[in-house]
Amino acid sequence: MTTLLAFAFVLGVLIFVHELGHFLMARRIGVRVLKFSLGFGPRVFGFTRGDTEYCVSAIPLGGYVKMAGETPDDPRTGRPDEFLSKTKWQRFQVLIMGPAMNLILAVVVTAGVLMTGAEIPSFQSKAPVVGKVVPGSAAEQGGILTGDRIVSVAGRDVDTWEQFLIAAGTRANRETAIVVLRDGKELSLTVTPTPQTKYEVGDVGVMPDVHPHVVAVVPGSPAEKAGLKPADVILAVDGAVITFPRELIDVISKKADVPVTLAISRNGATQDVSVTPELSGGNGRIGINIGEDTVMIKPGPLDAVGMSLQRNYDASKLIFRTVGQLVTRETSTRQLMGPLAIAQLSGESAQAGWIPLFALMASISLNLGLLNLLPIPVLDGGHIFIMAVEGLFRRDFSMRVKEKMFLAGFAVLLMLMVTVIYNDLTRISLFEKLMPWR
- Report pLDDT digits (tens) over 175-206: 999 999 999 999 999 999 999 887 788 999 99
Range of 228's domain?
A: 213-292
Weakest mean pLDDT among 50-64, 66-80, 128-142: 66-80
Tens digit of each residue's pLDDT (9 = 90 or more) over 209-220:
999 999 999 999
Confidence band of 435 (pLDDT split at 50, 70, 90): low
Q: How many CB atoms lie within 10 A of CB 280?
A: 13
How much is the pLDDT for 366? Answer: 95
Domain boundary among 274, 292, 310: 292
Q: How far is it between the farthest Cα atoms of the chain?
A: 89
Q: For the chain, how many structural domains are there in total?
A: 3
Instruction: Report which of 98, 90, 89, 22 is spatially closest to residue 391, judged by C-alpha positions.
Output: 89
Confidence band of 65 (pLDDT split at 50, 70, 90): very high
Flag whether pLDDT at 430 surpasses 70.
Answer: no
* Catalytic residue set: 19
Q: Do residues 106 and 173 both lie within one domain?
A: no
Q: Do residues 109 and 10 both lie within one domain?
A: yes
Q: Do residues 94 and 164 both lie within one domain?
A: no
Instruction: Report which of 84, 82, 20 is spatially closest to residue 54, judged by C-alpha positions.
Output: 20
Spatial distance between the Cα atoms of 209 and 211, rounded to a whole number of angstroms: 7
Question: Is 339 domain-assigned?
Answer: no
The pTM (predicted TM-score) of the whole model is: 0.82
Q: How many CB atoms lie within 10 A of CB 111?
A: 22
Q: Do residues 232 and 147 both lie within one domain?
A: no
Tens digit of each residue's pLDDT (9 = 90 or more) over 215-272:
999 999 999 999 999 999 999 999 989 999 999 999 999 998 899 999 999 988 999 9
CATH of the domain at 284: 2.30.42.10
Bridge-based pairing of strands 149-153 and 213-217 is unpaired
Vertex 357: Cα angle to 351 and 360 (nearest 5): 130
Name the residue with higher pLDDT: 377 or 313. 313
How much is the pLDDT for 54? Answer: 95
Confidence band of 311 (pLDDT split at 50, 70, 90): very high
Question: Is 344 domain-assigned?
Answer: no
Q: Do residues 133 and 105 both lie within one domain?
A: no
Spatial distance between the Cα atoms of 418 and 297, rounded to a whole number of angstroms: 40
How much is the pLDDT for 412? Answer: 85
How much is the pLDDT for 368? Answer: 93
Flag whether pLDDT at 280 surpasses 90.
Answer: no
